[in-house]
Structure 1
């Protein structure tokens, strides 16, 4: 499992052997945010795109995006 970060959102990427793709999920927010790609580059691009879409969607709806958890108290 590989960890990547974008705009303080942290995601894990792991292979899905059955489907032959890489799947990821954002782990430091309450919202469920997932993504995938056929290559590492595609999965990272998909992660960046899904975060941008999430932030834009929140803005359009007048909602405050769930801030990423920092792991600090």
Structure 2
């Protein structure tokens, strides 16, 4: 996944060869906010401007901007993965929540920063 981060917001994007441009969207909020750029630098600038525009528009209309993510979500896994994860968490002296959060953080950082 291609992603940018700014002020806690994440923008995901793809290159569209037919347009010879990158097209992106701010992820994790209900409002649909797109941004486009012909280069990575232009895309980053457009993403940051989209976030700033969103925040200023919210302020102008008296709306609280959505936070990109609440920090809570439910994950469904097979009973076997649940059992193995619980055992691994106990073996490391951690709660299942802490164990899972650390694993997700490592995987997310590897994916976004690769």
When normalised by structure 1's length, the TM-score is 0.91
Which has the larger Rg? 2
Length, aligned pairs only:
72
Greater RCO structure (CA 8 Å; 6+ sep) = 1
1:29 is matched with which residue?
Answer: 29
2:4 corresponding residue in structure 1:
4
Cα distance per residue 1:1-56 (max 9 Å; x no partner): 41111011111121011111011111111111110001000000000001000100
Unaligned stretches of 5+ in structure 1?
A: none
Task: Indicate the residue corresponding to 2:39 in structure 1.
Answer: 39
Give, in angstroms, the shift of residue 67 of structure 1: 1.1
Instruction: Give the structure with the higher percent strand.
Output: 1
Stretches of structure 2 lacking an aligned partner (at least 5 in a row):
73-114
TM-score, length-scaled by structure 2: 0.60
